[in-house]
A and B are shown apart, each in its own frame.
Chain A
Amino acid sequence: MELLRSLAITGTEEVLSISGLILLLAAAWGGDKASRVISIAAVAVLTVCAVLTAPALCGAAMGPAVSAWGGQFSGDAFAAFGKLLVYAGAAVTLIVAPAFFERSGAMRAEFPLLVLFAAMGMGMMVSATDMLSLYIGLELNSLAAYVLAAFLRSDERSAEAGLKYFVLGSLASGILLYGISLIYGFTGSTSFAGIHAALAEPLSMGVTFGVVFVLAGLAFKISAAPFHMWTPDVYEGAPTPVTTFFATAPKVAALGLLMRVSLFAFGAQPGVWQQIVIFVALLSIVIGALGAIGQDNIKRLLAYSSINNVGFMLIGLACTNQAGAAAMLVYLAIYVAMSVAGFVAVLMLKDADGAQVESIAAMAGLSKTRPGLALALAMVMFSLAGIPPLFGFWGKFVVFQAAVQANLLSLAAIGIAASVIGAFYYIKVVKVMYFDEAVDVVQGQSDLAQRVLLFVSVVAISPLGYLLTKQLGVLAGHAAAALFHIA
C-alpha cells in the first residue's frame, strides 16, 4: 500500500519520465522531421502534469499525508506551486522554440525531450525533502540545461555558453555536495526533517560550514551575487528560447529548493543563514542594477535584471517566516510572467532577413515601426522596474511588506532605494524605443504563437493583473503554509 501511495504522490514525475521515454523512441524513429510533433506532444504532457498537480495546490496539501518514498519526496502545496510555474516556463519554451531553430535548420527532435527531462528534474527539486533526492533532481535538470545552452551547434557563443555553464555549474554542484556531506557528517541525517531536528540543538562549527557551502552552491543556481558571473554570458550566448527557459523554470526550481532547504531543513536556526541571505540579497540588487547600466545587448540586460530580481525575492526569504515565503512565491509567479513577456518580445525582434536583433541600439524608434511590440516591451520594463500600476510593482510590494512586518526596516529601505538605480536602465530601454529616431532595423513578422503568448503575458503584467492578487495570495499562502508545516 505504501508503494502505491508513494507512486500516486509522484504521479507527475512518472508521467513525465514515461512519456519522455516514449517520445525519445519516437524521436529515434521519426528523426528531426518529427520535432514539431514531438514539441506539441511535450506541451500536451506538461499540460497533463499541470492538471495533475493543481489539486495539491488548491487543496493546500501538506504534512505526512503527501510524503512519499520514506520522506524523500513531498507532494505538498509548495511543491505544486513550484511545479506549476516550472511547467509553464517549460511549455513556453517549447512553444517558441521551433520557429526560432527552424530558421537556422538547427531544430532537432532532442530539444523537446531535454526540456521535458529538465522539467522533471525541476519538479523533483521543488518536491525534494531529502538532500539526496534534491541532488538527483538538481543534476537531472542541470545536465539537460548544459546541453540546451549549447544547442545551437553552429554558433560559437552558444557553445561558449554551454561550456561556461557546465564548468561553473559543476563547480557549484561540487560545493553543494561538499556542504551536504558536512551536514550529513555532523547531523547524521540527509532528510530535511532529520536535519531540522538535529539543528534544534546548539550548532557545531561543522554544521555552520555545511550551511554556508550549501547556500553558496544554491546561490550559484539562482544566479545571486556574488555567484552571478555566469549569468550574463550564458543568457547572451544561449539560444533565446533557451534563455527564456533559464530565466523562468530553473530559477523557480532553484529558488523553491533554496526556500525549502533554508526554511525547513535549516529552519530551526534561521539566525545562522539570515545574515547570509540579507547580504546576498542586497549585493544582488546593487550588482544587478549597476551591471546592467552599461549593457547594449538586451539579453545581457535581462540577465542582470534577473540578478536584480533574485535579490528582491531573497528579501522575502530573509524574513524567515511564512509571510515572507508567501511574498516570495507571489513575486516568483509575477517574475515568471514578466520574464516570459520580456523574452518573447525579444524573440519577436527580427530584422528584414529574419535574424534576431539583440542590440538595444537597433531598437531605436521601435514605437514607430512596431508600436504594439514597443508597448509590450515598455510595459515589461516598467513592470520589472516595479513602477505601479504595472503588476511588477505588486511583487515588490508584498516582499517589502513582509520585510517591514518582520521588522527588517533597514533592509527594506536600502533595498527599495537601490531599486531606483535599477529603474535607470529600465527606462533607458523605454527611452531608446520611444524617444530616439527610428533606425528601422526591426522588421518582419512574428508568428501567431508568439503573439498570443506575448498578449497573454502582457495582460497578466498589466494593471488587470491586480484582479488576480487575491487568488495569487491564497495559493501562495497555501504553498507557504505547507513549507512551514513541520511534521
Chain B
Amino acid sequence: MSGFPILSLMLLVPLVGAVACLLANREAARMIALVATLVDLVLGAVLWSRYQIGGPQWQFQEHASVFAGFEWKLGIDGIALLLIALTVFLMPVCIGASWNAIEKRAGEYYANFLVMETLMIGVFSAQDLFLFYIMFEAGLIPMYLIIGIWGGADRIYASYKFFLYTLLGSVLMLIAMMWMVNEAGTSDIPTLMAYNFPVHAQTWLWLAFFASFAVKMPMWPTHTWLPDAHVQAPTAGSVILAGVLLKMGGYGFIRFSLPMFPEASAQFAPLIYGLSMAAVVITSLIALVQHDMKKLIAYSSVAHMGIVTVGLFAFNRQGLEGSMLIMLSHGLVAGALFLAVGVIYDRLHTREIDRYGGLAINMPAYALFFMLFTMASVGLPGTSGFVGEFLSLMGVYAQSSWVALVCTTGIILGAAYMLYLYRRVVFGVQKHADTAAMPDLDKREWAMMIPLAAAVLWMGIFPETFLAPMRKDIAALDARLAQARPKGDADLRLAAIPPASATHEHGDAMEHGSKAEHEGAR
C-alpha cells in the first residue's frame, strides 16, 4: 500500500468544507459543498482503482495512537470499499438536489451534509471498535438538525423520533462493546472478528448489537421512525438517509454481528427471518395504500431491507453477496426515487400522489428516468435490483424454502405498489392544469439523473464490477460462519439414513433406528 493516508484525507476534505460553509453565504456555500464532495468522489475513485482485488484483506491501513482508550485506526476491505464508493457517489447528487431547493440557512445546511459525509466514511473505514461507535453515533447530530431545520410540517416530531430511537438502540451496543474489549483485550476490529467469544455471552452481545442495528436498518417493528423522518426530511436528506444511513445497519450486521458472534447469529436466525418476513409482507402492504410518494418509497425501503437481513442470515455466499448488492442497489435506486420525487416536489410543492398524473405527456424525459428507477426497484432483470434480490433469495432458499417463499411475495407486492405509483403519477390523464404545465428536467436534474441511471444499469448488466472487490471478504466471512451454520431444510443429508440392509444384518432395528434419529437431529 502507498503510505499516503488517503482515508484520513477523505475524512478531512468534507470537514474542512463544512467549516468553510458555516462562514460562507448561500452561493459560496453550495459551491464549496459541491467542490468538496467532488474532491471526495475523485479520491474515492482513486481509492477503488488502487484497491488490490484479491490482495490483503485490509488495505489502506492507517494507525495513529493519539487518544487514550481507543485509537485512530482506519482501513478498508472490499465491503467497506463498496459502501464508501456509494457514499461519495451519492453526496454530489445530494448537493445537486439541494442546489435551488434550500434557501434558508444554506451555509449550515451544507455544513451538516459535509459533516455527515465525513462520519459515514468514518463508519465504513474505522478499524477500532470505539472509533466506529463514535462515528456511528455522531451521525445523529447532523441528521437531527437536517430533519429538524429543513424538514416539512411535522419535522420536530420526526426529528425527536429519529434521535431518541437510534440513541436508545445504540447505547446498549456501547456497553456490549466495552465488555468485548474487556474480554478480548483489544478494540481492533480485525482481531475481534476472529476472536471466539464464549457462546453464552454471545447471546447477550448479539442482542445488544441487534438493538442498535435493527433500529438503524430499520427492521420491523422498529422501523416507524423511518417513514416520519423521510417524509419530513428535505429531498437530499431523504437521499442520504435511504442511500447510506440505512446501510450502516446492514454493514453493522456484516461486520460485527455475523463474524464476531457466529453462534449467536445462528441461534437468532429464526428471529431475523420472522421479523424480516413480517417486514417484507406488512410494509409492502402498507406501501400499497400510501397517498404520499415519499412515504411509499420509505415503506418500500423497509421491505427491501427485510430481504437484505434474510440474505445476511442465510449463512451462505449467495445470501451475503446478494445482500451486499441489494444494499448498493437500494442505495442508488431509493436515492434516485427520492430524487425523482424531489424533482416534481420542487415544481408543485406537494407529495400527494393524487395531485399528479399524466406527467408522461409534459415531462417525457422525467417519465423515462422514473420508469427506469421504478423497474430497478421492482427488480427487473437488467437493472441493479434484480441481481441482488435474486442472489439473496437464492441464498435463503438454500436455508429455508418457506422463508424464501414469503420473501418472494415481497417482489410481487413491490411490483404492485411501484407500478401502481408509476401509473398514478406518470400515466393517465392530466387532471390538474398546474401539473400539466410543469416543465421537463432541466440541465441540473439531467446531470443528477444520468450518473444514477448509468450506475443502475451497470450494476444490472455487469455486476461483476461490484462483486469482485468483495468476493474474497465474503468468502472469508462465509468460512467463519461455516462452523455455526444452522441446518437448513434444503440439507437432505442422505448419508445419515442407514441403508436398509445394514439393519437386517444385525437384526437390532431399534438401536439403529434411534441412532439414525440421533444423527438426523444433529
Contact = CB atoms under 8 A, between A and B. Distances in A.
Interface of A: 367-368, 382, 387-389, 393, 397-398, 400-401, 404-405, 409, 412-413, 416-417, 419-420, 423-424, 427, 430-431, 434-435, 466-467, 469-470, 472-473
A420 B134 contact: no
A467 B175 contact: no
B172 interface: yes
Given A388-B134, A427-B163, A473-B69, 12 more contacts: A368-B105, A388-B137, A409-B179, A413-B172, A413-B175, A416-B174, A416-B175, A420-B164, A420-B171, A431-B156, A431-B160, A470-B66
A398 B175 CA distance: 11
A388 B174 CA distance: 12
A398 B68 CA distance: 10
A419 B182 contact: no
Contacts of B105: 367-368
26 contacts: A367-B108, A387-B137, A387-B167, A388-B133, A389-B138, A397-B69, A401-B69, A405-B182, A409-B179, A416-B175, A420-B164, A424-B164, A427-B160, A431-B148, A431-B156, A431-B159, A434-B149, A435-B149, A435-B155, A466-B66, A467-B66, A469-B67, A469-B68, A470-B66, A470-B68, A473-B69
Given A400-B174, A435-B159, A393 B134 contact: yes
A419 B182 CA distance: 22
B467 interface: no
B385 to A, nearest CB: 35
Nearest to A467: B66
Contacts of A404: 175, 178-179, 182
B141 A382 contact: yes
B16 interface: no
Given A387-B138, A409-B179, A397 B171 contact: no
Contacts of A470: 66-68
B475 interface: no
A420 B182 CA distance: 24
B476 interface: no
Nearest to B148: A435
B210 interface: no
A416 to B, nearest CB: 4
Contacts of B182: 401, 404-405
Contacts of A423: 163-164, 167
Contacts of A435: 148-149, 155-156, 159
Contacts of B137: 387-388, 393
Contacts of B66: 466-467, 470
A472 B68 contact: yes
Contacts of B168: 417, 420
B178 A434 contact: no
Contacts of A424: 160, 164
Contacts of B156: 431, 435
A393 B144 CA distance: 17
B133 A417 contact: no
B38 to A, nearest CB: 25
Contacts of B68: 469-470, 472-473
A80 B199 CA distance: 46
B130 interface: yes
Interface string B121-165: 000000000100111011011001100110000011001100110
A121 to B, nearest CB: 33
Nearest to B163: A427
Contacts of A427: 144, 160, 163-164
A179 to B, nearest CB: 34
Contact of A401 (B67, B171, B178): B178
Interface in B88-143: 105, 108, 130, 133-135, 137-138, 140-141
Nearest to A393: B134
B15 to A, nearest CB: 10
A406 to B, nearest CB: 10
B172 A397 contact: no
B465 to A, nearest CB: 34
Most buried by B among A387, A467, A472: A387
Report the 8 A-B pairs with minimum CB-CB distance, sorted nearest first. A388-B134, A473-B68, A469-B68, A404-B178, A416-B171, A389-B138, A435-B148, A470-B68
Contacts of B145: 430, 434
B496 to A, nearest CB: 41
B138 A417 contact: no
Contacts of B178: 400-401, 404-405, 412
A292 to B, nearest CB: 15
A368 B105 CA distance: 9
Contacts of A401: 69, 178, 182
A184 to B, nearest CB: 40
Nearest to A474: B68
A387 B164 contact: no
Contacts of A473: 68-69
A409 B175 contact: yes
Nearest to A418: B171
Nearest to A406: B182
Contacts of A398: 69
A135 B213 CA distance: 51
A412 B149 CA distance: 34
Contacts of B179: 404, 409
A400 B182 CA distance: 12
Given A397-B130, A469-B67, A473-B69, A412 B175 contact: yes
